[in-house]
Amino acid sequence: MERYISVDAGKFGTKVAEYLKEKDTVRVFQFRTKIGAGDFRDDAIENDTFIIGVKDKVFKVGNGARGDGAELETSKQSIVHKNCTMAAVAKLVSDNEVDTVNLAVGLPAKEWAVVSKREDYKDFMFPGSTIEVKIKESSTSPVKTKKFKINKEKSCVFPESIGALFMDDSPKVTPTSYIGVLDLGNLNLNATLWQGIELQQDESITSELGGSILIQEVSQELSAEFSRCDEKYVAQMLKKVPEKRHLTPRVKNPNDKDEAKYNQKIIDDSRELIHKIELDHAKKVKRCCDGRNWSIDYMDIVAIGGTSSIIKDELKEVFGNITILKNSEMCNALGFLRMLCSRMPEINKVIPLTDIKNF
């Protein structure tokens, strides 16, 4: 069977999309970009986690892995990224036949622009031989052996952030259009400027302004102003709608009016402080763009990545008319998939993104 798959393996999360040609639909899933020692006898596999065997080694991959993440990786040519990508493909391919996989992956835009680095990454990610991966997808599922071959001739390496230009809710792309893409991931901000679909290298920048820095700042400020508030608590709080992003003190005496008044002050003051930190973060993002001489008042700007959805109101306050794309975390994977499929003679169309299923 022929498959059409894109994998956006970021430093924090791996996002995956597949086009099902027969159904003309797309399915998606994601998991942590993380691997550790694995054991196929494991009967307590965590959510969004699976065990894979590659050659003579067994790994646990995803949220429950206790080992190496990609946060400190300085190159995409790492065992973490490769194993996460191969595990993602293995989850999708057939059980009883050797599928041919047309695969799209991403590379940081400035590395992609160097032809030798792009070709090296193709050789690293698209081996010519048949790949065999053993996989156990849950505590109760059997160990399956999946075999597939990556079609190196048709598979593609795309610059990260370009996927945003191919989303339905993105501004129209023309040969003369200037569009800035703010890709706010968990660790980094990748601010890239595009004329049409050509990267403007000198006006693009990568900065450590991702969600983890925001979470760290909120945790530190709340802890200093009120009492200890760890980063895991903050991360969960920032997933809520803005009006519910506040500390919620534990009620000790329900009948104590003074305690209730004091707790309400903590709620109000912490909400205000969190908004201020988020607004400051959005201003830092704008300063990065100013530092690369973006004509912000005269160009379209779109924001993608999980952190953009957290501070979308603050980004709009700072940038004005900015487009926060839907499916912000999946934009690169979905955009890569659209670009890949448009190059396939047997598809040769813009695939629809109106019927996206979670796998």
216 and 103 in a single domain? The answer is no
Q: What pLDDT tens digit does each residue of the chain (359 aa) get? A: 999 999 999 888 899 999 999 999 999 999 999 999 999 999 999 999 999 999 889 999 999 998 755 555 556 778 888 999 999 999 999 998 999 999 999 998 888 989 999 999 999 999 888 999 999 999 999 999 999 999 999 999 999 999 999 999 999 999 999 999 999 988 889 999 999 999 998 999 989 899 999 999 999 999 999 999 999 999 999 999 999 999 988 877 777 777 778 889 999 999 999 999 999 999 999 999 999 999 999 999 999 998 999 999 999 999 998 999 988 889 999 999 999 999 999 998 899 998 899 98
225 and 158 in a single domain? The answer is no
Q: Tell me, what CATH number does 226's domain have?
A: 3.30.420.40
148 and 199 in a single domain? The answer is no
DSSP secondary structure of 263-294: HHHHHHHHHHHHHHHHHHHHHHHHHHHHHTT-
Tell me how far apart the terminal alpha carbons of the chain are, to the nearest angstrom.
19
335 and 277 in a single domain? The answer is no
Structural domain that includes position 316:
171-324
Burial code (b: 16+ CB inside 10 Å, e: under 16) for 276-315 equals: ebbbebbeebbebbeeeebeeeebbbbbbbbbbbbbbebb
320 and 339 in a single domain? The answer is no
Cα–Cα distance for residue pair 179/187, rounded to 1 Å: 23
152 and 188 in a single domain? The answer is no
140 and 178 in a single domain? The answer is no
| Token pair listed for 92 | 């999708």
7 and 61 in a single domain? The answer is yes
182 and 312 in a single domain? The answer is yes
With vertex at residue 292, the alpha carbon angle to CA 160 and CA 108, rounded to the nearest 5 degrees, is 15
**What is the total count of domains within the chain?**
2
227 and 337 in a single domain? The answer is no
- Residue 66 burial class via C-beta count within 10 angstroms: exposed 0-12, middle 13-18, buried 19 and up: exposed
138 and 278 in a single domain? The answer is no
Dihedral sign computed on CA atoms, order 298, 304, 308, 310: positive
216 and 348 in a single domain? The answer is no
